[in-house]
Chain A
Amino acid sequence: MTAVLAPSTLAKPRLPRWAPFMVAVAAIAIGGLLGLLLSWGWVAMLIVAGLIYVFGLPAWSRVLEGPRTAADRLMTNVVWGAFVVVCVPLLWLLIMVIQKGAPHITGHFLTTSMRGVFGSMEGGILHAIQGTVVVTVAATIISVPIGLMTAVYLIEYGRGSRLAKVITFLVDVMTGIPSIVAGLFALALLVMFFGPAFRAGIGGAIALALLMTPTVVRSAEEMLRLVPSDLREASYALGVPKWRTIVKVVMPTAIGGIVTGVVLAISRVIGETAPLLVTAGYNDSMNGNLFSGRMTTLPVFIFNQYKTPGATGLGTNAGDPPGYARAWAAALVLIVIVMILNLIARIIGKIFAPKTGR
């Protein structure tokens, strides 16, 4: 008797393997049919079909397999659905930028500036790439030492002290500063010293550094916190002074994460427009001098090209002013730069990660 009962209590009815596929086909069919009957667009059809699938499969499962499996299927569908919904705008954005930008990226576009370019002449973005690199590097040089040392103070010296709490609070406040406010601050600071008409890359660098510093502090702090105190004690027990312990043991152990954090902070600020617009201004020619003359960065270039796209061409490009094309192409270049930076961060993180190989 028990021999017969035992398997019957363990085995449960299961939906056939092709059930999800069937439901998907049915969902698309119903969605498509409804859409045709009510003359919706294809986006609405897809949404309806997706909803039917997400809830239809669990409903069938509930009848056949019972509530627990149905709940599992529902949650699986919801999680996957959320993933797809998140991916759509990202892919859409990438496809759009590549579609509109890629045709205009030529050797000429990447190696000339906009100096003397008018009408439907091709022009280029070399000056903007140069400006972006110069300003961002300067911002990194300013913010990384400050951020890193703040993090070292917070973790190694100020643990739990009142000053550390105040600093943590201020860093949190700084994270929330709108970028335009940082830009106005940098402008006000420089105007105080150099007069009201002063525009130069250094102002942009200061503004970006203001935005980067809290991110650097936060990420470096987390990384330093992760270094086990065993290592510090091991170092102290060898008679190594505290500062050497920090420089030679704690920092190298955390360096991978710190570098990753810094690069992510850079890729966050490299796309800033507003603070650079007010501090570094706009310029059509090459300018490598951080301290004098206006300097264009890629985001500001994009903004300006879109704002003043020039006259609509008469020939093949009729209807699309030349500035739009330049803006899309520059946007694509900016995205590529950010992606390269992220790749570099990952590679550096890998290289410096503590090794456990045998």
Chain B
Amino acid sequence: MAKSIDVTDLDIFYGDFKAVEDVTMTIKAKSVTAFIGPSGCGKSTFLRSLNRMHEVIPGARVEGKVMVDGQSLYDPNIDPVEVRRRIGMVFQRPNPFPTMSIYENVLAGNRLNAKRMPKSEADAIVEKSLRGANLWNEVKDRLGKPGMGLSGGQQQRLCIARAIAVSPEVLLMDEPCSALDPISTAAIEDLIHELKSEYTIVIVTHNMQQAARVSDDTGFFNLKAAGQPGHLVEFNPTKTMFTNPDSPDTEAYISGRFG
């Protein structure tokens, strides 16, 4: 079910401000693609444009093409709600729904869309998703407790469970580990490795070691100068990127000699 994404000449705007310029890349199915780059270079903005979350912000718009499975995401007759059902997202800060229990949080994608299902099926989905997110053993005895009562790392894995409970085709992760300690980070990286077999994963990270550890392909975004739009400097298999990058800028950034 995992899908590849083809991006062609994508420009992204906030009102009149062009945030990202002229991105072209192909994100392969059933692989992990990482985006690295300095703050404000448009990685997250680009990621959010892949499931039309970008346009939630007033005044935000996109020019160019994003093709998933032969369909252009920004066609006028495409329903953004349907797009987001197929392309799930995990955010930088864990954001479980405070009014819901752990169980309800995992099922939120189904319940909020008023999908009816027998209890047994719901239980099965919850268990499968929580196992998938490596959280089952920690919470199986307190599924009825509020999701906000978990630790930060557990909350983030709960959010991943919630995202995979609706069986998306692609999973977008926006710096999922930036608020977590190394142990929770390791748990989530393991999880990304496991999820790769079923989902196409795109991850934004500030941690280059993390990009090197988890990803198959890496894109390096950069700014030409402050106030200029961000652009894609290089997009290559991670191995090439970290050993023999095409661009001297990439090498400078990766080796810490940036700027």
What's the minimum C-beta distance from A148 to chain B, rounded to whole angstroms? 17
Flag if B53 contacts A237 (CB, 8 Å): yes
A214 CA to B111 CA, complexed, in Å: 34
Flag if A356 contacts B146 (CB, 8 Å): yes
Flag if A238 contacts B166 (CB, 8 Å): yes
Task: List which A214-263 residues lie within 8 A (CB) of chain B.
Answer: 228, 230-241, 244-245, 248-249, 252-253
What's the minimum C-beta distance from B105 to chain A, rounded to whole angstroms? 10
Does A119 count as interface, using CB distance less than 8 angstroms? no
A342 CA to B93 CA, complexed, in Å: 36
Flag if B95 contacts A231 (CB, 8 Å): yes
Q: Which residues of A contact B27 (CB under 8 A)?
A: none
Flag if B163 contacts A233 (CB, 8 Å): no
* Cross-interface CB contact of B109 among A239, A241, A357, cutoff 8 Å: A239
Given the contacts A234-B95, A244-B112, A355 and B56 also touching, CB distance less than 8 Å? no
Does A159 count as interface, using CB distance less than 8 angstroms? yes
Q: Which residues of B contact A354 (CB under 8 A)?
A: 98-99, 146, 148
* Cross-interface CB contact of A237 among B82, B89, B98, B99, cutoff 8 Å: B89
Does B29 count as interface, using CB distance less than 8 angstroms? no
Task: List which B128-169 residues lie within 8 A (CB) of chain A.
Answer: 142, 145-146, 148-149, 159, 162-163, 166
Does B65 count as interface, using CB distance less than 8 angstroms? no
Q: Mark B78-114, 1 if CB is under 8 A from A, else 0.
A: 0001111110110101011111000000001101111
Does A196 count as interface, using CB distance less than 8 angstroms? no
A-B contact pairs, 27 of them (CB 8 A): A160-B58, A231-B95, A233-B53, A234-B91, A234-B159, A235-B97, A235-B112, A236-B56, A238-B88, A238-B109, A238-B163, A239-B82, A239-B166, A240-B81, A240-B112, A240-B113, A244-B112, A248-B112, A249-B99, A252-B99, A253-B99, A354-B99, A354-B146, A355-B149, A357-B149, A358-B142, A358-B149
Does B222 count as interface, using CB distance less than 8 angstroms? no
Q: Mark B27-43, 1 if CB is under 8 A from A, else 0.
A: 00000000000000000
Q: Which residues of A contact B91 (CB under 8 A)?
A: 230, 233-234, 237
Q: Which residues of A contact B238 (CB under 8 A)?
A: none
Flag if A231 contacts B98 (CB, 8 Å): yes
Given contacts A238-B88, A239-B113, A356-B148, 6 further A-B contacts (CB under 8 A): A231-B97, A233-B53, A235-B97, A240-B109, A355-B99, A356-B98
A240 CA to B166 CA, complexed, in Å: 11
Q: Mark B53-73, 1 if CB is under 8 A from A, else 0.
A: 100101000000000000000
Flag if A355 contacts B81 (CB, 8 Å): no
Q: Which residues of B contact A232 (CB under 8 A)?
A: 56
The number of inter-chain residue pairs (CB within 8 angstroms) is: 90
A236 CA to B145 CA, complexed, in Å: 24
Q: Name which of B85, B88, B112, B142 has the most chain A CB atoms within 10 A of its CB.
A: B112
Q: Which residues of A contact B93 (CB under 8 A)?
A: 230
Q: Which residues of A contact B109 (CB under 8 A)?
A: 238-240
Q: Which residues of A contact B53 (CB under 8 A)?
A: 233, 236-237
User: Chain A, interface size: which category?
Assistant: 20 to 34
A233 CA to B148 CA, complexed, in Å: 17
Q: Which residues of B contact A231 (CB under 8 A)?
A: 95, 97-98
Does B51 count as interface, using CB distance less than 8 angstroms? yes
A241 CA to B108 CA, complexed, in Å: 13
Q: Name which of B98, B109, B166 has the most chain A CB atoms within 10 A of its CB.
A: B98
Determine the residue in chain B with the shortest Cβ distance to A353. B98
Q: Which residues of A contact B58 (CB under 8 A)?
A: 159-160
Q: Which residues of B contact A239 (CB under 8 A)?
A: 81-86, 109, 113, 166
Determine the residue in chain A with the shortest Cβ distance to B80. A236
Determine the residue in chain B with the shortest Cβ distance to A356. B148
What's the minimum C-beta distance from A252 to chain B, rounded to whole angstroms? 4
Q: Which residues of A contact B84 (CB under 8 A)?
A: 236-239
* Cross-interface CB contact of A249 among B88, B112, B145, cutoff 8 Å: B112
A239 CA to B145 CA, complexed, in Å: 25
Q: Which residues of A contact B108 (CB under 8 A)?
A: 235, 238
Flag if B51 contacts A237 (CB, 8 Å): yes
A238 CA to B146 CA, complexed, in Å: 19
A244 CA to B51 CA, complexed, in Å: 19
Given the contacts A239-B84, A241-B81, A355 and B112 also touching, CB distance less than 8 Å? no
A19 CA to B84 CA, complexed, in Å: 69
What's the minimum C-beta distance from A12 to chain B, rounded to whole angstroms? 45
What's the minimum C-beta distance from B122 to chain A, rounded to whole angstroms? 15
Q: Name which of A160, A234, A357, A358 has the most chain B CB atoms within 10 A of its CB.
A: A234
Task: List which A180-222 residues lie within 8 A (CB) of chain B.
Answer: none
